[in-house]
Amino acid sequence: MTIEIVRVPVLSDNYVWLVHEPVSKETAVVDPAVAEPVLEAARERGWKITQIWNTHWHPDHIGGNDAIKAATGCRVSGPAREQAKIATLDVSLDEGDHVRLGDVVGDVIDVPAHTAGHIAIHLPGEGAVFVGDTLFAMGCGRLFEGTAEQMFDNMVRLSHLPEETRVYCAHEYTQSNGRYALVAEPDNADIARRMDEVNAARARGDATVPTTIALERATNPFMRARSVEQLAERRTAKDNF
């Protein structure tokens, strides 16, 4: 991996990601919920923020846009279908578009369901994907503006990424998701084993993300759903869990 990715914990359970490319010295911020902790994390490392990548319009993903843009003059890129809800947007992104950080190129993937225009950004050369609130460790996003069919398609598409791909989601939901996963697939030994690791990590105060596509294939009940109907049933059950 040529880039450096830094986790910035904010609010109660959000993760903002700083993505730094050392040759160009460009730094992108992914889904800044707030500004100051992100600006401070960049200052501590001597990094200049040149871009913001938004995966969707929710306030806990764009709340820091204004202040970071004002402080750095950075360019804001985000989903074309949500541009009306992201006032700071400079570059609209849709399926097949690309972002660039120095010589590192990211592919834009449409993953609607959590919101109508949600996108993910896959950096194939770096083995990383930023998924916002679409895919979580052992979970998926709620269906606020989309359908189970869309989320099922998202899970299938993401599951086809190389298994070693690191998945950078935007929340520390793993322990809660895992409790449901144990109920959804009680005979899945991989889930039980992973939950032991997750519980130990959280007891130490450690983060549980990024995860990997391989780990999600083995332990995520939504990625493992065999049909739209099963995903819908599991999403409803998790909403009421």
- Does residue 43 contact residue 21 with C-beta atoms inside 8 Å? no
DSSP, collapsed to helix, strand or coil, labels residue 20 as strand
User: Which bin fits 49, alpha (ψ -120 to 50), beta or left (φ > 0)?
Assistant: beta
CA distance 108 to 228: 24
- Assigned token pair, 124: 């194939």
Which strands make up the sheet holding 48-53, listed edge to edge? 4-10, 14-21, 26-30, 48-53, 75-79, 91-93
- Does residue 76 contact residue 65 with C-beta atoms inside 8 Å? yes
- Does residue 207 contact residue 15 with C-beta atoms inside 8 Å? yes
Residue at token pair 């990424």: 161
Q: Look at residues 30, 82, 80 and name the one whose alpha carbon lies nearest to residue 51.
A: 30
Q: What are the DSSP calls for 42-85, one per residue?
A: HHHHTPEEEEEE-SS--HHHHTTHHHHHHHH--EEEEEGGGGGG
DSSP, collapsed to helix, strand or coil, labels residue 37 as helix
Residue numbers annotated as active site: 56, 58, 60-61, 114, 133, 171
